[in-house]
Structures are given as C-alpha cells and as structure tokens.
Chains A and B, each alone.
Chain A
Amino acid sequence: MVGLIGRKIGMSQLFRETGEVVPVTVIEAGPCPVIDIRTKEKHGYRAVVLGFGVKKSPNKPYAGIFQRIKKIRPDAPDIPPTQVLREIRDFNGDVKIGDFVDVSIFKPGMKVDVTGYTKGRGFAGVMKRYGFAGGPDSHGSKFHRRPGSIGTSKTPGRVLKGKRMPGRYGCDKQTVLGLEVVKVDKERNLLFVKGSVPGPRGGYLIIRSHKGGEGDGG
C-alpha cells in the first residue's frame, strides 16, 4: 500500500492518444511530509502518518507534533503544522520521519482507491436518501414523495429497527475503488484520476494504491 493526502480540484476531461475521451477528476496530491510512524511493536499495527496543507493557527499541543520531527531527525527540513493528518496503513517503501511523499508514487495506468466525505445533503427525504419510488405526481394522487407504510399494526406494534426513513444524508465517508490514474503532473503535484470521487471541490481525499493492484502488498 502506498498513499497520499490530496484535495479535489474538480472534474475535466482528457484525450487518450486514440482520441478516446476520458472523464477525469483533478486532484492536488501531496507532497506529504511523514510526521510519524506507527509500528507493530509499539502501536500494534504498521502505518505512516502523513500531513497535507498548512494550518493557519495551530494550537500548542498540535504544533508540538511537528516540532518533534526535528528532535528525532535534526537534518529534516522545517515542516510547519499541516492542515490535515492521516494515517496510511501498511505503507510500502522505506520512509523515515521527515521524508516527503509525492505524486511520483503513482504512475499512469495504476489503479487507486480514493476516500473522501460525500457532499452533505442535509435532512433528506426517503426518495433521495434511499431511492424509494414515491407515488404518482398526478392523476389525482396526493401521495407524492412519502415513504408509505412503515410497518404492521398490533404485531409487533412497533417500527422495526433499521427502518429506512428520512434524515441526515451525505457527509459520509466513502471510498471509490479501482480508479485508473490517467496522468501524473509531478511539477504541480497533480493527479488525474478516471471517474468521479466523493466530496465537494476543495474537499480532502486519501488516495491509496488499489487493493491487490500494483503498489499494493508488503
């Protein structure tokens, strides 16, 4: 597994050499400093902690995490507190605290999994939230977007647990699996990934090598 933290920039399209149009999501990914390393011995699992972005006004305990890097590795470059911190489990490759990981870990043609938070949809009805059919719009119908019956009468005399009803929808963590990396722009740290990705523009994402694909294992 290799991975990076990124920010969704938006969607566009690219052409392959054959002229085929490829819908792509543009992601600004990395460079991510390695802030900490979780080890099997100490933490019970293997992971690297990556940072991304710059935090404007970090509090002291948060800033301390970054000052620690210098203590462990005096030769490490200055790393200002980052906006986000994420762990990437079972990271392949030899990285040390204070190193940087950038988009060059991904090559065109590779498959990646992208995790993000979906757009918030607020308090949504059952048609939008669960794809219920609703009722007819016309022909005298007064039953338009309602959920219908939510259960039986005396037995059991209550609504079953897990009954799908209106409520908060969106802002859920979601992972899209097996997206193809179409183009990598190392200079500007851009990743062009085929297809769509959860979340709004500017939303933070985690991009990992696809499970079982190239760059996985270890």
Chain B
Amino acid sequence: METTATPRIRLEDIEKELLQEATKGKEIEEFRPGDTVRVYMRMIEGDKEKIHPFEGVVIAVKGAGIRRTITVRKVIHGYGVERIFPLYSPNLVKLQVLRRGKVRRAKLYYLRGKKGKAAKIKERK
C-alpha cells in the first residue's frame, strides 16, 4: 500500500457508479413529464412478496442521478392519488410508458385542480 497522492475522488463519479449498479437488470423506459406510465413496485406484505403496478401521469421529476424521484398521479373514484417513487429503488422493478403526453412545462401541478376534460393531456406524436 502507498500513500501517493491518489487522484481526487469526486462525488459525481461515485454517484454515477451507484446509478449504474442500481439500473442493472432493470427495465426503465425513457419518459417525460406528462407521460402516462405503469410502475411496477415490489411490495412485501408479511412474508409474501408481490409486484404491485401503479398507473398514472408523471407530474414531476425531481432530483438527479440516484436521487431521482417521480411523482405519479391518478384519479381513483374521484379522488386524486399521487405517489412518489424513488426511480432507482431496488423495489422498483419496471417502468412502462403507456402513452406519451404533450405538455409545455416540467411540473404539472396544475392538474391537481382540474377535473374531467380539463385534466386531459394531448398525445405526443
């Protein structure tokens, strides 16, 4: 072992590697805010393990690298439900894009106040 001056270790490089490890063997389709996606989350109930899909519109993407999270919104029986997923969680098995939406902003929080037709997002071709 030596004490020679090691090249400076950068946090960015470490995070990049963590990200690579985290994405290994995972199917995450490319997506944008406004897209309708299905997220497959591994859930542990007692000693059983099941994969639970959640379907909805991506209304926000936050964070960079391994810290990235997405907020997915859907309306169930008239109630708006939002879930925040850490994109690179080991429990997130798969992310599928069902429909590509055409939107003009990065955060779609305005959808929260809209109902029915007003909450519709045009399809992106």
Contacts and interface: CB of A to CB of B under 8 A. Distances in A.
Contact of B3 (A9, A51, A190): A51
B67 A13 contact: yes
Chain A interface residue count: which class? 20 to 34
A12 to B, nearest CB: 5
A9 B4 contact: no
Interface residues of B, number: 22
A14 to B, nearest CB: 7
Contact of B1 (A13, A21, A26, A100): A100
| Consensus secondary structure, chain B interface | loop
B3 A26 contact: no
B14 A190 contact: yes
Interface stretch (A76-84, A113-121, A125-133): A76-84
B88 to A, nearest CB: 7
Given A12-B18, A18-B44, A102 B67 contact: no
A9 B17 CA distance: 15
Nearest to B22: A15
Interface of B: 1-6, 9-11, 14-15, 18, 22, 42, 44, 66-67, 86, 88-91
Interface of A: 9-10, 12-15, 17-19, 21, 26, 28, 31, 33, 51, 53-54, 77, 79-80, 82, 100, 102, 188-190, 201
